[in-house]
Structure 1
Amino acid sequence: MNLLERLVGIFAEHGYLSVFIALLLCGAGVPLPEDITLVAGGIIAGLGYANVHVMVGVTMVGVLVGDATMFMLGHHFGGRILRLRLFAWLLPPARYAKVQQKFERYGNRLMFVARFLPGMRTAVFITAGATHRVSFWRFLLLDGLAALISVPLWVYLGYLGADNRAWLTKWIHRGQGGLWIVLGMVLVLVAWLWWRRRQRCDGE
């Protein structure tokens, strides 16, 4: 039995709370793929064990609470967090320094894009908190906007493919590329709206 099927079994038996806890573990850097966890939550809704719209709400909260916890730990402990064995394993000094460099270069954009980079999220969110350059509410806004793209996509994908696992497996593999396409469209729309607003302001 693969990971997806195991998660579906656990979630079907224990409901929303088990999905929420699993997403907290994802946020903490436990090697449990967030996208597979979200898809499993959608599948149990498709099988009738949960309401899909409620599942989207539960998973959004789980993702944001997990991410915010990592941010606040970084904010509170700063670089000292690397002295804790768990975080030293998740974020070795060399990797921490590399993420800091990327954060210095890309700033807020890195926090938004990190949601679409499996394996990078925890490191980026801890570093964002440790730098003390970003307020908690700005972090939550950027992470929340990114989660509004990724979370519903994975949950509804699981919901739609609950009874057709072959189709679902194919689209899970395509899903990350699809997320980048959606992200690109959102960025183009934001740039266009900014340009229109700039044109309007220049014309007044």
Structure 2
Amino acid sequence: MDLLTRLITFFAENGYLAVFMALLVCGIGAPIPEDVTLVAGGVIAGLGYANVHVMFAVTMLGVLVGDAGMFLAGHHYGVRLLHKRPLKWVLTPKRYCAVQKQFEQYGNRMLFTARFLPGMRTAVFVSAGLTHRVSFTRFLLLDGLAALISVPVWVYLGYFGADNHQWLLTWIHRGQTGLWIVLGVLVIGIGFYFWRRHKKRAERSSNASNSPD
């Protein structure tokens, strides 16, 4: 029995609380893929064991609470956290240095993109708390915006593919690529919006300076 099937069975028997707790465990770096957990939550909604919209709300809360917990743990315990299990297995000294370099190069954008990097989320979120470079409010905003893209994709994918296991597995494998495409389109769209806004402001300023007194 594969992991997805085991999670579906477990969630169907135990409901929303089981999904929420599983996501908290994912947040601390347990070897359970968050994406598969979200899909399993969507599947049990598609099979009639839960309401899909409530499931979306529960999974969003579970993801954000788990991520916030890792950020606050890093913020409160500092480098001592690097020596505590299971974090010391997830955030090795080598990985911590790599994440720090990414923060120096990309800043807050690293927090946003971390949600789309399986295996790196916990390391990035703990590092963000450790460095004290980002306020908790900014962290929650950036992570929440990223989660609003990724979480519904996985949950509703599970919901619509609940009756077709093979189709679902195919799209789970394609899903991460699809998320990057969605993210790319979103970034391009936002960039274009701000470029047009800046251009219009520049034109208004130019017209105002050239107008006769």
One-letter identity of the residue aligned with 2:188 = V
- Aligned partners of 1:185 and 1:125: how far apart in 2? 25
1:203 maps to which residue? 203
Offset from partner CA, 1:137-179 (integer Å, 9 cap, x none): 1111110111011000000000000001111111111101100
1:113 maps to which residue? 113
1:91 maps to which residue? 91
- Aligned partners of 2:25 and 2:13: how far apart in 1? 19
- Aligned partners of 2:148 and 2:160: how far apart in 1? 18
**1:21 lines up with 2:16 in the alignment:** no
The 5 Å alignment of 1:46-85 reads 46-85=46-85
**1:151 lines up with 2:162 in the alignment:** no
1:36 maps to which residue? 36
Offset from partner CA, 1:7-32 (integer Å, 9 cap, x none): 00000010000000000011110010
Q: Secondary structure at the match of 1:105?
A: helix
- Aligned partners of 1:74 and 1:106: how far apart in 2? 20
User: Which stretches of structure 1, 4 residues or more, deviate above 3 A after TM superposition?
Assistant: none
Asked if the contact 2:46/2:162 (under 8 Å) is kept, the reply is yes
Query: How far did residue 103 of structure 1 move?
Result: 1.1
2:209 maps to which residue? none
Residue segments in structure 1 that go unaligned for 5+ positions in a row: none
1:137 maps to which residue? 137
Offset from partner CA, 1:110-154 (integer Å, 9 cap, x none): 111110000000000000111101010111111011101100000
Offset from partner CA, 1:180-203 (integer Å, 9 cap, x none): 000001101110111122112212
One-letter identity of the residue aligned with 2:147 = A
- Aligned partners of 1:79 and 1:130: how far apart in 2? 7
Q: Greater CA radius of gyration, 1 or 2?
A: 2
Worse-superposed segment, 94-103 or 64-73: 94-103
CA RMSD of aligned residues (A): 0.8
**1:163 lines up with 2:163 in the alignment:** yes
Residue segments in structure 2 that go unaligned for 5+ positions in a row: 205-213
Q: Secondary structure at the match of 2:86?
A: helix
Number of equivalences = 204
Asked if the contact 2:161/2:167 (under 8 Å) is kept, the reply is yes
One-letter identity of the residue aligned with 1:100 = Q
Q: Secondary structure at the match of 1:50?
A: coil
Query: How far did residue 79 of structure 1 move?
Result: 1.5
**With structure 2 as the length reference, what TM-score do the two structures score?**
0.94
Asked if the contact 2:12/2:44 (under 8 Å) is kept, the reply is yes
One-letter identity of the residue aligned with 1:161 = G
**With structure 1 as the length reference, what TM-score do the two structures score?**
0.98
One-letter identity of the residue aligned with 1:35 = D
Q: Secondary structure at the match of 1:85?
A: coil
